[in-house]
Each structure stands twice: as C-alpha cells, then as structure tokens.
Amino acid sequence: MENYQALREEIVSSAQELTRKGYLMATGGNVSVRASDKSGFAITPSNYDYMKMKPADVCVLDMDLNILAGERKPSVEAGMHCAIYLARPDVNVIVHTHQVYASTLTLIQAPIPALFDEQARFLGRSVEIIPYAPSGTGFLSSTVAKYVRGHNNAFLMQNHGTLVFGTNMERAIHNVEILEKCSLAYLIALCSEKKVTRIPAAIREIALIKLKKDQQRVIKGEPHNSSE
C-alpha cells in the first residue's frame, strides 16, 4: 500500500474542515480515503474528537479489515466503508455525516428528487433513502452495498444520517455541501405545501452522462477536473 502518512494527514485536515463547517459534530460520522493502489483505506478512529485528532490516530486497513496502522480503534462503520469501496470502483472518498437538514429528511423518509442542475451533475439523478439497519453491523454493510451500486454520489440513511462519495476529497466535501443546500431547500419547499418543481428530465440525463464520464475516468486511472 502507498504511504500511510499522506492518507492520514488528508483525513485529519478534511475531517477538521468538515467539523468547522458544521457537517461533522461531536464524534459522530466518519471519513475514509481509499489508497491509490486499491489495497486498502484510511479511516477516522471510533468515538474520538475530530479537532483533537492527529495523523497517528487515523487507522489504515486492508480490504479484509485487518488493521495495518493506527493507535486507536477504527470507526465501527469501517465494514460499511469497505463494502462501498468494493461495490463502487469509482469512489475514492467516503464521508458519513449526521448533518442536520439531510438527517431530518431521513426521519420523514423523503428522498430528494432532481431539484437543481448542480445536484444532478455531482450527486446523480436523485438522493435515495437507504433502509434502516443498526450501526456498525454486517447487516448495515450489506444493505448499504446493495443500495449504492450505480452512479449516485449521495444517499440518506433512514433514521441515521448521510453517505456522500467523491472521486477525491475535494469533490467529496463539495458534494456534502451540495447535499445540505438541497436538503434545506427541499425541507422549506415541503413546508410550503405547494408543488415542488424539478429540473427537466433531459437536463437531468445530460448531467448524469457527465457524471458517468467522470466516474469512468477514475476507474480507468485517467486524470479528471474536479471542478467541471
């Protein structure tokens, strides 16, 4: 596997950025980055303050969940992250949050349709609900792996939180922010009790084609522009 230190440093800086922005709170949620050789991933430790976290606290695991490095216990959701990486070769970063507005939609089981151009371009056709499964269990890992196959990059986990993917960390954080914007807008629109309009299907499908091209470039190991 590649240099552990670079992966661990990226986890720390990104988790702390997400905490400062209010997407990660207390010790909830987790962040992982896949090694470039696909042999494993680095993930945040279990139940530890993100703002106190140091690179040595970040755990490195292989794809059989053997711990290769790290001074702390890995997140209880490590199995879920591993299952996602196995199901989605285009995903290199996973962010699981309990961000407020998106998490609220999980309580009312309200998947987000294609409301905005940028949502369709970066998150996919829609933001679907993954049925509830207990945290840290094999049932959760298998349930999530079943639902994330395809091309969508954001999901709502029923009565739990969110899952957001990226081809790299910059894109993943960008997608977390888009998801929260869409969630807040959708919640307010639902409260109005008026019809919620969607972007035209043709525009949604054009955006999806661009997203699929991004994902194929990642799978093939080709460079891509995260800001396209």
Q: Which residues are catalytic?
A: 77
pTM of the model as a whole: 0.95
**What pLDDT is stored for residue 221 in this prediction?**
86
**What pLDDT is stored for residue 224 in this prediction?**
61
**What pLDDT is stored for residue 225 in this prediction?**
57
Which secondary-structure segment (H or E) carries 98?
none
Tokens standing for residue 54: 């140091």
Q: What is the CA radius of gyration of the chain?
A: 17
Structural domains in the chain, sorted by start: 4-220 (3.40.225.10)
Mean per-residue pLDDT pooled into runs of 10, the chain (228 residues): 85 98 95 96 98 97 96 97 98 98 98 98 98 97 97 98 98 99 98 96 94 92 62
**What pLDDT is stored for residue 4 in this prediction?**
86
CA distance 133 to 23: 22
Closest Cα partner for 199 from 110, 104, 108, 124?
Answer: 124
